[in-house]
């Protein structure tokens, strides 16, 4: 490990039975010895709380602690994540093992930080056990105070759902016999996130009390978690990255680099700079599947992609491929026979590059000028009423792919974050709105920003009720239009001049607000062979001048067939410029600090690519001066340092660029 440039390892996430072989009998000797041995070679340790896999001696006497799926089936011992994090009994055990570990390791200088649990909600998140129902009812009472307030918020008068007591409220169940109340379902999804955060916060309190100098993080960006809130008590967030999951038969099993970028951006949007706790180290696979083996250079490329998006540390999973258990074919850096081969050599190259360039990278943060707004509530609201339409996450990925292909400084930004420094904001699928967010978005436009919204924006309130005001509700003045009609259609395009542009799934007929500075950019086309359509020749896309900025309302979804044209319309209202010229297969991002910029050039193709129109600088990896062009070999990477004057001072978290294995 030391020879490969490793300076950190992660361990103990599934080791509860080793550290406590029977209740109250602790034995940390294996970890004491291992941590000390690693420390002798300059390698520090990240420990994990082992609560994702409680031991059998604990679970066999507590069947009521097991999670229950929506069909009433209780989980059984023999896998992982089988205990319910909302059960008070299991919560006490979680605190107990965390406290024991924290007290034992609190004075060990080789332990630098912690990961809570492991990949919360990785397998399933919607537990239906009695403990969860009681916790949900308590959560609702704390939120609403009175049952009348809840009935009003959910609109329980529909289908005679009015409740007299909080204890009367069941879990929303899909298709039993038909669809649940959308307000109830949205609150249940919020409860899932809040309950999980409470479980994590119990562990965090124990760790901080034992040693306030430890940093604490978590690994995973999974569903039904409000990551912005969830990261609130963490020092920074973390994520596990397996690009192989994006390789589908429809794509000839080619890895989609935008898939990895989207996950990275989701993590960075939650807390700023972050750490990758698990980066794919081989052809990972379990019982039903196997990922394509990374081609020579891809593993290193994916690690640098993480750094390019804001990671201050990258750990590969795993070090040696396990010879037993459910992950015997989840390949590590070393094979089952423990012999160093091609993957180790590539890993070693990456580790030495991080070791050499860490001081140059730390303290820089990703540059984002074109933002795709993300908010957990929007995804949750969509899940309550999907209507067969694309989710906000699907629209986000279309937008990220297009902006990256144009090599613009882009990324995801949480709606709760500051909009300072942004020039362009996209609102993909933001059906929920409130007056506070609407005012912030209006101020962004008024102060010179460009705001772009897709169909159904700002049509529901935070209780998931449709607003009584004409869409887009609180953003009506911002966009200068109202939506006079909306609906689904079959292949209805819109026309811009003589061009026909496909629309995705829905149409909205726009009405220009009187006396507004709004112009029509496109109208809905006629359907010559489908009879009369209400939208034909009616406004579909509109541009409104508000204050010093612009607001564009698109009465359609961002889809695979129209995102490129819609992004072009938006960019025409900005002064944003590409960071360089290159093929779409080359990913370009920037990290910056004060008066210098690091441009990351990542070639995701199997062919040599040339990047042009670069600012002169030096490739830190090769040491070669770069003027205006640079050639990247297949799966090649360059990190070009230039001096400039950024618009604002930036700060970052992190004390060392971490390279390691978990």
**Gap between the terminal Cα atoms of the chain:** 12
DSSP three-state, residue 219: strand
- Residues with a catalytic annotation lie at 119, 278
Q: Quick one: 138 exposed, middle or buried, by C-beta within 10 A (0-12, 13-18, 19+)? A: middle
Alpha-carbon distance of 661 to 550, in angstroms, equals 47
Alpha-carbon distance of 239 to 487, in angstroms, equals 38
Decide: 460 and 433 in contact? Cβ < 8 Å.
yes
User: Could you write out the DSSP letters of every residue in 261-321?
Assistant: HHHHHHHHHHHSSEEEEEEE-S--EETTEEPPPPPTTHHHHHHHHHHHTTEEEEEEE-SB-
For residue 621, count other CB atoms closer than 10 A to its CB.
Answer: 17
Alpha-carbon distance of 399 to 639, in angstroms, equals 25
**CA dihedral angle for residue 116, residue 236, residue 225, residue 207, rounded to 10 degrees:** 30
Give the relative orientation of helices 182-210 and 376-384 as an angle to the nearest 10 degrees: 140
DSSP three-state, residue 370: strand
For residue 171, count other CB atoms closer than 10 A to its CB.
Answer: 18
Side-chain half-sphere exposure of 222, counting CA atoms within 13 A: 16
Residues 6+ apart with CB under 8 A from 430: 373, 375, 378, 392, 415, 453, 457, 458
DSSP three-state, residue 92: helix
Alpha-carbon distance of 240 to 344, in angstroms, equals 20
Q: What angle do CA 403, 263, 576 make, to 5 degrees?
A: 20
Q: What are the residue ranges of helices labelled H in 341-460? A: 342-361, 376-384, 392-405, 435-446
Alpha-carbon distance of 599 to 654, in angstroms, equals 20
Which tokens hold the place of 647?
A: 């618009």
DSSP three-state, residue 548: coil
Q: Is the dihedral of CA 390, 393, 395, 401 positive or negative?
A: negative
Residues 6+ apart with CB under 8 A from 335: 320, 321, 341
Give the relative orientation of helices 376-384 and 392-405 as an angle to the nearest 10 degrees: 130
CA distances from 77 to 18, 80, 222, 242 (A): 16, 8, 23, 26
Decide: 183 and 463 in contact? Cβ < 8 Å.
yes
For residue 531, count other CB atoms closer than 10 A to its CB.
Answer: 6
Decide: 507 and 486 in contact? Cβ < 8 Å.
yes
Side-chain half-sphere exposure of 89, counting CA atoms within 13 A: 14
DSSP three-state, residue 105: helix
């Amino acid at each position: 490990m030391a020879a490969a440039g490793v300076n950190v390892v992660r361990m103990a996430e599934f080791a509860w039975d080793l550290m406590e072989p029977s209740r109250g009998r602790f034995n940390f000797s294996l970890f004491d010895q291992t941590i000390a041995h690693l420390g002798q070679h300059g390698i520090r340790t990240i420990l994990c709380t082992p609560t994702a896999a409680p031991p059998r001696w604990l679970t066999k006497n507590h069947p009521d602690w097991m999670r229950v799926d929506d069909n009433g089936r209780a989980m059984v011992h023999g896998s992982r994540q089988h205990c319910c994090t909302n059960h008070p009994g299991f919560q006490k055990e979680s605190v107990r093992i965390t406290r024991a570990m924290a007290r034992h390791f609190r004075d060990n200088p080789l332990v630098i930080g912690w990961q809570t649990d492991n990949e919360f909600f990785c397998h399933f998140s919607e537990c239906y056990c009695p403990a969860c129902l009681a916790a949900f009812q308590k959560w609702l009472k704390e939120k609403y105070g009175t049952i009348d307030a809840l009935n009003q918020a959910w609109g329980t008068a529909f289908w005679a759902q009015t409740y007299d007591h909080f204890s009367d409220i069941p879990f929303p169940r899909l298709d039993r016999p038909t669809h649940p109340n959308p307000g109830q379902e949205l609150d249940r999804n919020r409860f899932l996130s809040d309950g999980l955060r409470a479980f994590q916060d119990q562990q965090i309190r124990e760790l901080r009390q034992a040693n306030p100098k430890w940093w604490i993080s978590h690994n995973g960006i999974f569903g039904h978690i409000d990551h912005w809130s969830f990261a609130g008590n963490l020092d920074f967030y973390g994520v596990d990255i397996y690009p192989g999951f994006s390789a589908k038969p429809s794509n000839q099993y080619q890895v989609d680099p935008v898939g990895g970028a989207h996950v990275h951006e989701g993590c960075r949007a939650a807390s700023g700079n972050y750490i990758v706790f698990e980066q794919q180290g081989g052809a990972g696979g379990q019982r039903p599947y196997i990922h394509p083996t990374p081609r020579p250079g891809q593993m290193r490329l994916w690690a640098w992609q993480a750094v390019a998006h804001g990671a201050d540390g990258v750990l590969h999973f795993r070090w040696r491929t396990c010879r037993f258990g459910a992950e015997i074919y989840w390949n590590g850096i070393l094979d089952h026979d423990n012999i160093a081969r091609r993957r180790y050599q590539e890993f070693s190259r990456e580790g030495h590059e991080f070791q050499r360039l860490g001081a140059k990278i730390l303290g820089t943060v990703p540059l984002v000028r074109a933002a795709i707004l993300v908010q957990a509530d929007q995804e949750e609201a969509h899940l309550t009423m999907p209507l067969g339409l694309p989710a906000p996450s699907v629209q986000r990925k279309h937008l990220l792919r297009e902006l990256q292909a144009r090599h613009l400084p882009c990324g995801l930004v949480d709606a709760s974050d500051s909009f300072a420094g942004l020039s362009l904001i996209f609102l993909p699928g933001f059906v929920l709105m409130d007056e506070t967010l609407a005012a912030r978005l209006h101020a962004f436009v008024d102060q010179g920003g460009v705001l772009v919204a897709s169909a159904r924006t700002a049509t529901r309130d935070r209780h998931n009720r449709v607003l009584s005001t004409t869409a887009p509700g609180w953003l009506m003045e911002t966009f200068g239009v109202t939506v006079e009609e909306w609906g689904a259609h079959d292949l209805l395009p819109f026309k811009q001049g003589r061009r026909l542009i496909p629309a995705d799934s829905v149409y909205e007929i726009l009405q220009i607000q009187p006396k507004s500075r709004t112009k029509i950019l496109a109208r809905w086309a006629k359907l010559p062979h489908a009879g009369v359509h209400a939208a034909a020749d009616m406004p579909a896309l509109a541009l409104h001048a508000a204050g010093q900025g612009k607001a564009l309302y698109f009465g359609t979804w961002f889809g695979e067939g129209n995102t490129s044209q819609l992004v072009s319309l938006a960019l025409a209202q900005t002064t944003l410029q590409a960071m360089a010229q290159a093929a779409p297969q080359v990913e370009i991002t920037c990290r910056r600090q004060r008066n210098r910029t690091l441009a990351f050039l990542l070639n995701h193709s199997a062919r040599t690519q040339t990047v042009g129109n670069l600012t002169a600088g030096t490739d830190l990896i090769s040491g070669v001066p770069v003027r205006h062009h640079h050639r990247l070999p297949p799966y090649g990477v360059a990190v070009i340092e230039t001096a400039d004057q950024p618009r604002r001072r930036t700060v970052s978290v992190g004390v060392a660029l971490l390279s390691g294995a978990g």
